[in-house]
Amino acid sequence: MSTYSVHISELAERDLKEIGRYIAEEFLEPTIALKLVDKIGDAALGLEEMPQRNALVADKRLSTLGMRKLLVDNHIIFYDISEKEKTVMVIRILYGRRDWLTLL
């Protein structure tokens, strides 16, 4: 089984930091925030093996671009795969109830 190199965009890194900040400050739950950020980060890095296991995004425009999604609790990791380079690029990490179609 071949493995892929996982890269996280600056925007996705900002998304993850914002998720942690929001939970820590708005809900006053820094421990829960840290656990969730770790869980999402681990899931993203776990895409190094079999990243195709997750479905393409249901939106026609995004699926044509090869955009896939991975659900982690109430959050969605959006990514695409380069088979040629054996890389996974994490594009965004968003709260599932946001209007993410307008953000991608």
User: For residue 1, what pLDDT is reported?
Assistant: 65
Q: Mean pLDDT across the stretch 57-79?
A: 96
Q: How many C-beta neighbours within 10 Å does residue 76 have?
A: 20
Residue numbers of the domain that contains 64: 5-99
**Within a domain: residue 23?**
yes
Q: Mean pLDDT across the stretch 56-71?
A: 95
Decide if 9 contacts 93 (C-beta within 8 A). Answer: no
Cα distances from 50 to residues 7, 40, 41, in angstroms, run 15, 17, 17
CATH (domain of 90) = 3.30.2310.20
**1-56 residue pLDDT tens:** 679 999 999 999 999 999 999 999 999 999 999 999 999 999 999 999 999 999 99
Q: Is the pLDDT of residue 84 over 90?
A: yes
Domains of the chain: total? 1
Give the pTM. 0.94
**Within a domain: residue 104?**
no
Q: Residues 6 or more apart from 82 whose CB is under 8 A from it?
A: 88, 89
